[in-house]
Amino acid sequence: MGGTVVIKWGGGLITHKDKLCTVNQGVIESLAEVCKNSNKNLVIVHGAGSFGHMKAKKYRLADGRIEGIEQDEAVQDVRNDMLELNQIVVTALQAKGLDVKSFPPHKWAKGTGPNFSGNLPIHDGVTVVYGDVVDDYVKDFGILSGDDLMLRYATELSGVERAIFAIGEVDGILRVPPSKAGPDDLIEVWHPEMEFEGEHAVDIDVTGGIGLKAARGAMIASKGVDVILVNGEIPQRVSDAIEGFPVIGTRIVLGNC
């Protein structure tokens, strides 16, 4: 049995981000196949995409309780939508014969951002968690991003070999927004002092887009864990990243190395 690898399946990768509650079933199945073929202990953190951001944005759930807006139903709806997406992910992994257990964060985590509270649940087989609407001490509720779960799992579990962010549509962090990028614009090694012009769909995204992944990736790297962003639409790259082989993507390192 290999060591532990913590991997994010980005919401923009596993769903169609602009169509409410629609999954990218082909991608989910190919990612599940990659997991089946690995002998690592896997922790999978999945994002929300169109199962989370749209309604959360409309009802301002990331801001917490706001007087004058009826938000309770939306909190429930988004939690249910995320349970539905999570079930699709879990079913795809189980269909490959994997022993999977999922831990919905609204049941065990409280607070948002990197310092949320709650003991990180872990399963002997494949552990699955996801970005969710969680209770919050101050705001009543809020959005806990999968990127913050990545940070905590990658840095607090023992024996983590690397953290991988599998993302949709791009090969990693690009120097310019994807719409303007050419083949030479992939940043192969990124460190926090380097600037990039990330495209963040603030109109639909209630968490941090590529910028949050880069920031959390840097925090993970600062604890000595390897971090790589790869194009999750190309299964071989995800597989190579999990096994620690050289792969096209963006490695996040500390300082100018």
Residues near ligand IPE (CB under 6 A) are 10-12, 47-49, 52-53, 56, 78, 82, 131-133, 143, 145-147, 206-207
Please report which residue ranges of 37-114 form alpha helices under DSSP H.
53-58, 72-95
CB of residue 183 to ligand IPE, shortest distance in Å = 25
In a 3-state reduction of DSSP, which class is residue 72? helix
CB of residue 17 to ligand IPE, shortest distance in Å = 7
Cβ atoms < 10 Å from Cβ of 70: 8
CB of residue 164 to ligand IPE, shortest distance in Å = 13
C-beta of 48 vs 173, nearer to ligand IPE: 48
CB of residue 153 to ligand IPE, shortest distance in Å = 13
In whole angstroms, give the CA distance from residue 247 to residue 120.
30
CB of residue 81 to ligand IPE, shortest distance in Å = 8
C-beta of 133 vs 186, nearer to ligand IPE: 133
Phi-psi region of 21 (alpha: psi -120 to 50; beta: other; left: phi over 0): left
In whole angstroms, give the CA distance from residue 195 to residue 204.
23
C-beta of 145 vs 155, nearer to ligand IPE: 145
E runs forming strands in 160-248: 160-167, 189-190, 226-231
Rounded alpha-carbon distances, angstroms, from residue 63 to 75, 133, 254: 12, 11, 32
C-beta of 147 vs 240, nearer to ligand IPE: 147
C-beta of 108 vs 254, nearer to ligand IPE: 108
CB of residue 210 to ligand IPE, shortest distance in Å = 9
In whole angstroms, give the CA distance from residue 163 to residue 157.
12
C-beta of 44 vs 126, nearer to ligand IPE: 44
In whole angstroms, give the CA distance from residue 218 to residue 212.
10
In whole angstroms, give the CA distance from residue 212 to residue 116.
16
